[in-house]
Amino acid sequence: MLRFIYIFNNDVINIEVQQDRDKLSPFIRNKNTLNNLETKLSHKEDILIWYFLKFLGQSYPPFEIKKEFFVKEIVELIKKTNFVFYKKTKKSSLKKLKDFSIIPLKDIKIELLVPNKILIKIDSIIKNKLKIKFYFKIENFLYDIPINYEFLIPLNNEKIGKINSIQKKNLIKSVENIIGKSVENLEYLTFEELNKLNEFDFIEVVYKSNNNSNKKISFASNTIFKLGIFDKDLLKDNDVELYMNLLENYLNNKNYVEYNGELILIDKNLIEEVDNKTILEVFTKQNNNKSIVQFINHLLNIKSKVTINQILEKLKRSTFKATLKPHQEEGVRWLYNLYLNNIEGGLLADEMGLGKTIQVIAFLILAKTKKNLIICPASLVHNWKNEILKFTNIKESDISLEIKENKYITILSYESARNRIDELSKIEYDILVLDESQKIKNQTTQIFEAIKKIKRKFSIIMTGTPIENSLNDLWNMLFVINENLYELYNSKIKPLINDKNSSKAIELTIKMLYPIMLQRKKEQVLNLPKRKNIDIFIEFSKEEQKEYDKLIKIFISAIKSGLSGRIQSIALEGLLRLRQFCSIHQILPSSLLNNASLKDSKLEKVIEITKEVIYNNKKIVIFSQFTKSLDILEEKFKNLNFNSVRLDGSITKKQREKIVFDFQNNKNINIFLISLKAGGVGLNLTSANTALLLEPWWNPAVEEQAFARIDRIGQQQETTIYRLFYKNSVEEKIYKLLEEKRNLFTNMSESLINIKNIEMEVAKDVFGI
């Protein structure tokens, strides 16, 4: 927490910020540290003064209150803080101020201000409720005033205002009468409550969007949803796009849409009866393949056979020992309902960190099957076993990490399943679970072919990144549920992809197969602490720039003198070396960099950030693609007497579990060094509040997987994500290219990227080929 230091200096009171302690300490001027300052101040007097300063138009220290505002109320409030100093001259040291009579009080007219509106700001939308804050609006006053603010408001150098307390109480009472509850400390409103308030002129409702602008709020009307998907001719021209956006967001489990400068909230009751089946009905009429028609008809006729209350009651009477969060209850209900409707499987694509594993374990308990197979990355095999033993009363003897036909649950790695598929394919399983199913995103691989041969009645596909490189990733996973979906893909989706109409292909995929896909984002279902994403662009020093340019010249020369057939491999080799230089210079081979004393600007920035985290008694996770960079960081931190742990491909499964446990539970271990490939999935590192990515990766989805190690269920702290880039380098080119492509698949995932094509695109740009 932070506090203010008040320094009286003749005709001004200077205000600085320091850590919450009664002794003087260094002043804090870092803008990132001071973001949302009012939430970090520990003294209520400081918070009131902060708002007064804000109304004066001051945002960052050093703040000042000029003599024009030396009024009794302000001086008395500052006096209460007991942390006031004075300075006789510029050169004299700070002395504690005890006699406040030396401050000349001003007699300024205090005007009674009448708040004419209540402003409700929506911070975030969480499932069926909204996180809100109440403010007063006063005519012709620039700033919004929190309803619990009881202090002064500066109007000009001659006047100060104070809120009319009677009018304030009347406004608050009016809001309370409408919603039937007290607004004091009220943080959430339901859609219904907000809709009621939205109807009154004295209430204004806004949503703060990503670009910090306030958007108006409205509710989707009932009439628009009485129309089916293909009744668009009945809509007005400007309603068609809105209708499609609303429908698409609803199918993707979003209950709002930002459209035409407004935030439109979707009341779930409005769209319960939307006709989403037309596309599939048309397809079944045109198709002669009985298997796919049967599957589609199943999708069209899914009935709700179980409620969440029934599920919770069943779990209560079972061996299940965990408490599910609301979104997890809904996920278990969705899986169990597919199972009861004899659908062949489902894709659980919740964002990383939302607890997909616990949902599947709960479902396995409900299904009461006899033989289940879980296939996951090798690093997660023991994690699955431990989670099952932790949250159920299943005996360890009923779980096998080898292929044994009589076991209740078998857990294998993808590689083990591939290598022993002949043995595995002789057994019929009730349920097959594929965790981190992006492993089967390519149907040309041996793993994909092996999975197809496993006999099972029901398949669960789990992934936080259903699309990594293209929409084909998603469909390849869905083929595992029912191979007859090939026909649906070939006739409806493939032509659109070939026409480069990717957004239409996604839209159609969602509309056709949303019953077997469930994806929730963290911001939709969790009230996690805030996350700050900070991209830092670092300038090369003159010497660094010289060495970087020399590297480029070396590879341009090699490309020009090399055989034409080797141009691509030389370019990719050069690209790798430039990226290594931009990671930590010294990991380059000495033949390419023989300057051992070269300053490393990025390394200095990493150490600076890490020191700040550790000095604040926090923990940091650092990701790099290069193990040699981790070697150098490990040595640097050791020399600084910082305790770190490390995870890369050389670490065994048992060592991995111990390392994670130590980092999570040992207060003396502040740094976790992780290779992106070895530690991007399957780790829970919520004891850290900071993650740092040393180099950009070609795929934002992979970066996000890494960041989800700290930004997930169980996180109690505000998190900060740092991504470091060198300016005017290959890293900035990668950054710009990926930013252009990042939003192509916002409906289902964060990226549409063919890594090899991007590598060559960047290489051609850098080396001019």
* Arch. (CATH architecture) of 531-767: 3-Layer(aba) Sandwich (3.40)
Average pLDDT over residues 253-259: 65
Whole-number pLDDT of residue 427: 93
Whole-number pLDDT of residue 747: 42
Whole-number pLDDT of residue 185: 82
Whole-number pLDDT of residue 228: 36
Segment 491-496 long-range contacts (CB within 8 Å, at least 24 positions apart)? 491/283, 491/287, 492/279, 492/283
Amino acid at site 265: L
- Which two structure tokens, joined as six digits, stand for 509? 């995929």
pLDDT tens-digit map of 653-705 = 778 888 888 999 998 999 999 988 776 566 788 889 899 999 988 777 677 77
278-523: CATH class:
alpha beta
- Which two structure tokens, joined as six digits, stand for 203? 């209430």
Is the pLDDT reported for residue 235 higher than 50? no
Residue 527 CB coordination number (10 Å): 14
The rounded radius of gyration (Å) of the Cα atoms in the chain is 30
What are the strands of the beta sheet with 690-693, ordered from one edge?
531-538, 719-726, 690-693, 620-624, 671-675, 644-647
Whole-number pLDDT of residue 742: 56
Whole-number pLDDT of residue 263: 73
- Quote the CA–CA distance of 291 and 294 in Å, as a whole number: 5
pLDDT tens-digit map of 497-511 = 766 556 677 767 777
Question: Among 324-338, 478-492, 702-716, where is mean pLDDT lowest?
Answer: 702-716
More confident position, 250 or 84: 84
Band of pLDDT at residue 408, cut at 50, 70 and 90: very high
Inter-axis angle of helices 290-300 and 278-286, nearest 10? 160
Whole-number pLDDT of residue 230: 30
Tokens 């640097």 belong to 636
Band of pLDDT at residue 224, cut at 50, 70 and 90: very low
Collapsed DSSP state (helix, strand, coil) of residue 202: coil
Amino acid at site 278: T
Whole-number pLDDT of residue 276: 47
Mean pLDDT of the chain: 81
Question: Among 112-116, 167-171, 564-568, 600-604, where is mean pLDDT lowest?
Answer: 564-568
Tokens 């934002």 belong to 700
How far, rounded to the nearest angstrom, does the alpha carbon of residue 134 sit from its chain's CA centroid?
Answer: 26
Average pLDDT over residues 409-427: 93
